[in-house]
């Protein structure tokens, strides 16, 4: 059904990621539906959500318009991406656009920075977005995801299907539990430790930062 645009409506574009093995997309269909219902316009490049198992139909049903070329999706005023734009993608931008994505300044080519400056792009790097207390909410969320999934990935590599030794993460009656070593005591390490403990493994966490070790000891006992 037609939704009336708000007075301060955004025109948002979600391009398909071109970086190797990048399967994520910035918005789920539910998030798109929320934006559309609040009067914003969202264009999604075809197959942009395939890596995350979101079909074009799901985005279309949520109220997004599916477009079939990068040129069309980059007409939006606000571009939401996961990976930093490539040199080729920056050619699609027009002056005055807003980009919200990772920028990875340590790896960004000078040519890319110059292209963004030339087109007067306002670029918001989500790895630098802070909350009111100075935390990095998006980075923390991603670290929590990485920590929670890393033990599952480790278990896959230990399985015989992947030519592993057939070791299970956890103990069974009469057999001591698997030992898991975690290097670092940050957020990802904390959630990896939670996952390992829940599987019944015996864990050791190493870090040269005493405060982080105290924090993780307090958090996980």
Tens of pLDDT, residue by residue over 11-20, are 999 999 999 9
Q: Is 146 a residue whose pLDDT tops 90?
A: yes
Q: Is 49 a residue whose pLDDT tops 70?
A: yes
Model pLDDT for residues 51-84, shown as the tens digit of each residue: 999 999 999 999 999 999 999 999 999 999 999 9
Region of poorest pLDDT, from 24-28, 105-109, 121-125, 170-174: 170-174
Model pLDDT for residues 76-87, shown as the tens digit of each residue: 999 999 999 999
Mean local confidence (pLDDT), 206-211: 97
**Banded pLDDT at 173 (limits 50, 70, 90):** confident
Burial (CB count <10 Å: 0-12, 13-18, 19+), residue 97 = buried
pTM of this structure: 0.85
Contact between 95 and 119 under an 8 Å Cβ cutoff? The reply is: yes
CA distance 67 to 65: 6
Q: Which of 186, 185, 189, 193 is nearest to 136 (CA)?
A: 186
DSSP element (H, E) containing 123: strand 122-125
pLDDT of residue 167: 87
Residue 99 main-chain phi, psi, to 5 deg: -115, 130
Counting residues of the chain whose pLDDT is more than 70, the rounded percentage is 97
Q: Is 144 a residue whose pLDDT tops 90?
A: yes
CA distance 187 to 147: 7
pLDDT of residue 214: 96
Q: Is 1 a residue whose pLDDT tops 80?
A: no
pLDDT of residue 88: 95
């Amino acid at each position: 059904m037609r939704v009336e645009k708000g007075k301060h409506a955004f025109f948002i574009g979600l391009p398909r990621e071109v970086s190797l093995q990048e399967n994520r997309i910035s918005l789920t269909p539910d998030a798109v539906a929320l934006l559309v219902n609040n009067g914003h316009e969202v264009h999604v490049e075809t197959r942009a959500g395939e890596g995350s198992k979101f079909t074009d139909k799901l985005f279309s049903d949520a109220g997004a318009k599916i477009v079939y070329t990068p040129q069309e999706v980059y007409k939006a005023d606000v571009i939401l991406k996961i990976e930093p734009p490539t040199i080729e993608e920056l050619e699609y931008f027009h002056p005055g656009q807003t980009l919200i994505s990772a920028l990875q300044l340590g790896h960004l080519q000078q040519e890319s920075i110059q292209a963004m400056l030339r087109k007067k792009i306002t670029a918001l790097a989500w790895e630098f977005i802070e909350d009111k207390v100075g935390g990095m909410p998006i980075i923390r969320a991603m670290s929590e995801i990485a920590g929670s999934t890393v033990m599952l990935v480790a278990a896959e590599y230990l399985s015989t299907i992947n030519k592993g030794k057939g070791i299970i993460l956890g103990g069974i009656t009469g057999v001591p539990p698997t030992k898991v070593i975690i290097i670092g005591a940050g957020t990802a390490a904390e959630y990896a430790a939670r996952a390992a403990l829940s599987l019944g493994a015996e864990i050791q966490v190493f870090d040269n930062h005493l405060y982080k070790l105290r924090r993780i000891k307090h958090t996980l006992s």
